[in-house]
Homo-oligomer: A and B are copies of this chain.
Amino acid sequence: MQKERLTAFSDGVFAIIITIMVLELKVPHGDDWATLAGLAPTFLSYVLSFVYVGIYWNNHHHLLYACEHVNGAILWANMHLLFWLSLIPFATGWMGENHFSALPTALYGVALLMPGIAYLVLQSVLIQAHGRDGLLARALGADVKGKLSPFLYFAAIALAFVAPWAPRRSMWAWR
């Protein structure tokens, strides 16, 4: 099978995921600066997630560019990646609405971690289908670390958000 419909379907899902997140920026009722300032955490989490999904689309673009044909395992590994990405708008919205409090921020970290794992699965399924000596394996082989780094980087940022912030908020909430 050829990869055209796989990329077309994935582009559609990516486009919807990245655009659906802006729907969490709900139109508020007031029309003053305070109303606008109240949207700041939601807006910040939107920017963060837009960049994150953007990085995935970019990497997906590179990964499938080297791919020559698809099979059932690739279709499902790709669907698995899209599933975890589809949860990012929810995790983003929950974190934004709760002003980066502990549990929502931790869940956001999980929502960032799972697509990273799914991406590695898709990558290894693709390499298996094209042969360990194929063009794809050679194209990816050297920079697996390079491909992995943005995810680790972002997960670290997410954890950094959780670490200093969340305990303080939860302490405040428990007193």
Contacts and interface: CB of A to CB of B under 8 A. Distances in A.
A9 B9 contact: no
Given A32-B103, A36-B103, A54 B79 contact: yes
A26 to B, nearest CB: 8
Majority SS of interface residues in chain A?
Answer: helix
Contact of A107 (B9, B23, B36): B36
B14 A97 contact: no
Contact of A15 (B12, B32, B90, B107): B12
B104 A31 contact: yes
Contacts of A31: 94, 98, 101-104
A164 interface: no
B97 A27 contact: yes
Q: Which 10 A-B pairs have the closest CB atoms?
A: A12-B15, A27-B93, A31-B98, A16-B19, A9-B11, A13-B15, A54-B79, A31-B101, A8-B11, A25-B90
